[in-house]
């Protein structure tokens, strides 16, 4: 333990953000990392508490406790305090293949369960993680780790999102020959096209994929398994298959006017926006938002990303409607530490809208009942307020009479979450699914009803966080490897 009294001497210091009026002019990352000296001091706040919950990685009553990857956080923080950045990275790499991703997009489940956070602000674990990996990248010290021997087994990983990349990485390190299939023109899945560049610079993904290629992993881009690459060929050509194609079937508005021009799902919008940014040319299907009134339906992280992206694309106004009630400002008695704190937060997109338009764009307990058009495009939405009622423990929304309003709208972006994986691969392989439409696996496992087909990430557990997808990919890789090399 580097400084036993550090948590008594130092208060938490947070990363800075670029000025709003500056950052909304581009899609560059808006977080300003703290300097080394500041985070070195912040690492001293880690209490080495003995019974650390930050790396527990458990689900209790549907809430997370600690990091799913079980990163050895007290040890990593101690090494940073001792100025052993390279050792800290190698310690982190024992459990985590891609800290450059999670240190930017993870909500920091670890910090929600930090012991110091029970009565003060938690340790800046996420920022310390970013310091470590950014320092290593800047000094060119993240080098390919090529397996010393190969097993002779060939494995196909379908999908290059966080679970697919993590699965491929682990399978390769275990000596298997790995081919990753990705239907998009760039690798990364949701990391590349679902998360905007201002949160995760896409060059970080391309840099990591280059390292993985140098380690021996092959990437087949613009190749959709089941369409460009026949499913029977996949079964024939590989000893095992791991499906990591995500949960990409989006929930849509089922209201009158849902098919009017100007209504678009969040993933379609964010994907086309990023392609426009990277390709530096017009993209089919990307609406011109400049000077338009934008409505975002949905209040989660994806909704926030739509708000921030719409602002950067010159929206005249942005409103965000959330059917759920507003969360409390502090933990309630039913949400004690070390569970993940379910509290209200104002994210970057809302901060930008507040400064730009003078008010928080969010309206809670509000839902869209109809989309209005003029025969060519969207002109307005009709919303109602709802109240939540309890029916034998099941909560459901009820429209409040007389609360309907008509709001001007030119673009409606639906960020209402995902309902499950697409059916193409499931149907072609005759895979069994569970009640939620995800691929069914053995209990606490990743093997499907087919002998050589495994699955990981959102295809198995449903829509979740990047860090859980990485956890899933690594665990599926171990299960697949053990199966192939013990039969």
Q: Please state the rounded mean pLDDT for residues 33-53.
A: 93
Over pLDDT 90: what percentage of the chain?
93
User: How many domains is the chain built from?
Assistant: 3
Confidence of residue 444 (pLDDT cuts 50, 70, 90): confident
One domain, residues 18 and 100: yes
240: left (phi over 0), alpha (psi -120 to 50) or beta: beta
Listed residue (486, 420, 472) closest to 170, CA to CA: 472
One domain, residues 403 and 269: yes
Residue 79, pLDDT score: 97
393: left (phi over 0), alpha (psi -120 to 50) or beta: left
Residue 443, pLDDT score: 84
One domain, residues 70 and 53: yes
Helix (H) or strand (E) holding 363: strand 362-364
Helix (H) or strand (E) holding 355: helix 348-357
One domain, residues 269 and 314: yes
One domain, residues 240 and 389: no
> CA 99: distance to chain centroid?
13
291-300: buried (b, 16+ CB within 10 Å) or exposed (e) per residue? ebbbbbbbbe
Residue 486, pLDDT score: 84
State the Cα–Cα distance between residues 299 and 287, nearest whole angstrom: 21
CA angle at 462 for the pair 203 and 348, rounded to the nearest 5°: 45
Residue 181, pLDDT score: 98
Residue 57, pLDDT score: 87
Per-residue tokens: 210? 């280059």
Q: Is the dihedral of CA 292, 298, 302, 303 positive or negative?
A: positive
- Alpha-helical (H) ranges within 113-183 are 125-138, 162-173
Residue 392, pLDDT score: 87
Q: Residue 476 gets which letter from DSSP?
A: H
- Looking at the domain assignment, is residue 472 inside a domain? yes
One domain, residues 29 and 131: yes
Residue 371, pLDDT score: 98
Assess whether pLDDT exceeds 90 at residue 228: yes
Residue 226, pLDDT score: 95
Residue 487, pLDDT score: 75
One domain, residues 378 and 454: no
One domain, residues 119 and 161: no
- The whole-chain average pLDDT of the chain stands at 96
Assess whether pLDDT exceeds 90 at residue 97: yes
Assess whether pLDDT exceeds 80 at residue 1: no
Residue 317: φ, ψ to 5°: -155, 155
One domain, residues 262 and 381: yes
Report the CATH number at residue 68: 1.10.1060.10
Given 110, 138, 166, the domain boundary residue is 138
Residues 464-474 have pLDDT tens digits of 999 999 999 99
One domain, residues 388 and 262: yes
Residue 62, pLDDT score: 81
Given 416, 432, 450, the domain boundary residue is 416
Assess whether pLDDT exceeds 80 at residue 5: yes
Residue 159, pLDDT score: 98
State the Cα–Cα distance between residues 43 and 3, nearest whole angstrom: 9
Over pLDDT 70: what percentage of the chain?
100
- Looking at the domain assignment, is residue 147 inside a domain? no
One domain, residues 256 and 380: yes
- Looking at the domain assignment, is residue 176 inside a domain? yes
Q: Please state the rounded mean pLDDT for residues 249-265.
A: 95
State the Cα–Cα distance between residues 378 and 307, nearest whole angstrom: 18
Per-residue tokens: 242? 């791991």
Given 364, 397, 416, the domain boundary residue is 416
Range of the domain at 42: 6-138
Does residue 476 contact residue 75 with C-beta atoms inside 8 Å? no
Residue 60, pLDDT score: 87
Residue 387, pLDDT score: 97
Helix (H) or strand (E) holding 419: strand 418-420
Per-residue tokens: 130? 């970013």
Q: Please state the rounded mean pLDDT for residues 155-179.
A: 98
Q: Please state the rounded mean pLDDT for residues 82-100.
A: 97
Q: Could you check whether the bond before residue 338 is cis, i.e. omega within 30 degrees of 0?
A: yes
Q: Find the Cα–Cα–Cα–Cα dihedral 275, 281, 285, 287, rounded to 10°.
A: 100
- Looking at the domain assignment, is residue 277 inside a domain? yes
Assess whether pLDDT exceeds 90 at residue 442: no
Residue 63, pLDDT score: 83
Residues 262-283 have pLDDT tens digits of 999 999 999 999 999 999 999 9
One domain, residues 78 and 100: yes
Does residue 120 contact residue 127 with C-beta atoms inside 8 Å? no
Assess whether pLDDT exceeds 80 at residue 192: yes
Confidence of residue 385 (pLDDT cuts 50, 70, 90): very high
- Looking at the domain assignment, is residue 146 inside a domain? no
Does residue 417 contact residue 248 with C-beta atoms inside 8 Å? no
Does residue 426 contact residue 415 with C-beta atoms inside 8 Å? no
- Looking at the domain assignment, is residue 480 inside a domain? yes
- Looking at the domain assignment, is residue 144 inside a domain? no
Half-sphere exposure of 38 (CA within 13 A, CB side): 14
CA angle at 416 for the pair 412 and 418, rounded to the nearest 5°: 130
Report the CATH number at residue 463: 3.50.50.60
Per-residue tokens: 444? 């606490």
Task: Write the burial class of residue 149 (CB in 10 Å: 0-12 exposed, 13-18 middle, 19+ buried).
Answer: exposed
- Between helices 202-214 and 162-173, what is the axis angle to 10°? 20
């Amino acid at each position: 333990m580097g400084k036993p009294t550090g948590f008594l001497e130092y208060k938490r210091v947070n990363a800075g953000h670029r000025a709003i009026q500056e950052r909304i002019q581009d899609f560059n990352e808006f977080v300003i990392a703290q300097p080394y000296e500041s985070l070195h001091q912040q690492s001293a706040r880690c209490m080495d508490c003995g019974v650390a919950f930050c790396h527990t990685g458990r689900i209790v009553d549907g809430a997370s406790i600690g990091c799913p990857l079980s990163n050895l956080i007290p040890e990593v923080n101690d090494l940073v305090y001792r100025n052993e950045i390279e050792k800290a990275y190698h310690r982190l790499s024992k459990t985590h293949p891609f800290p450059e991703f999670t240190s930017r997009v993870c909500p920091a489940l670890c910090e929600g369960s930090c012991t110091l956070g029970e009565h003060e602000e938690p340790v800046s674990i996420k920022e310390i993680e970013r310091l470590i990996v950014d320092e290593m990248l800047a000094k060119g010290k993240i080098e390919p780790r090529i397996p010393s021997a190969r097993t002779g087994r060939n494995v196909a990983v379908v999908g290059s999102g966080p679970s697919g990349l993590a699965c491929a990485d682990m399978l390769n390190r275990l000596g298997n020959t790995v081919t990753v299939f990705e239907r998009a023109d760039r690798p990364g899945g949701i990391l590349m096209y679902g998360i905007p560049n201002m949160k995760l610079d896409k060059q970080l993904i391309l840099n990591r994929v280059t390292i993985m290629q140098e380690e021996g992993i092959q990437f087949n881009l613009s190749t959709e398994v089941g369409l460009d690459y026949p499913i029977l060929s996949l079964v024939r050509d590989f000893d095992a298959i791991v499906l990591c194609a995500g949960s990409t079937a989006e929930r849509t508005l089922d209201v009158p006017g849902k098919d009017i021009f100007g209504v678009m799902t969040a993933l379609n919008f964010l994907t086309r926006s990023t392609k426009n940014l990277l390709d530096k040319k017009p993209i089919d299907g990307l609406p011109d938002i400049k000077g338009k009134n934008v409505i975002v339906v949905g209040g989660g992280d994806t909704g926030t990303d739509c708000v921030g992206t719409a602002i950067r694309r010159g929206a005249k106004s942005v409103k965000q409607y959330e059917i759920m009630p507003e969360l409390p400002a502090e933990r309630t008695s039913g949400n004690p530490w070390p569970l993940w704190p379910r509290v209200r937060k104002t994210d970057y997109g809302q901060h930008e809208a507040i400064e730009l338009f003078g008010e928080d764009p969010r309206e809670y307990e509000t839902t869209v009942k109809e989309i209005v058009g003029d025969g060519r495009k969207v002109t307005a939405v009709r919303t109602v307020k709802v109240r939540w009622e309890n029916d034998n423990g099941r909560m459901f929304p009820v429209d409040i009479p007389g609360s309907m309003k008509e709001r001007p709208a030119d673009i409606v972006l639906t960020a209402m979450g995902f309902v499950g994986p697409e059916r193409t691969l499931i149907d072609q392989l005759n895979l069994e699914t569970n009640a939620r439409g995800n691929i069914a696996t053995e209990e606490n496992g990743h093997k499907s009803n087919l002998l050589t087909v495994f699955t990981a990430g959102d295809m198995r557990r449903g829509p979740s966080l990047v860090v859980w997808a990485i956890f899933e990919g690594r665990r599926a890789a171990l299960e697949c490897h053990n199966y192939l090399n013990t039969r």
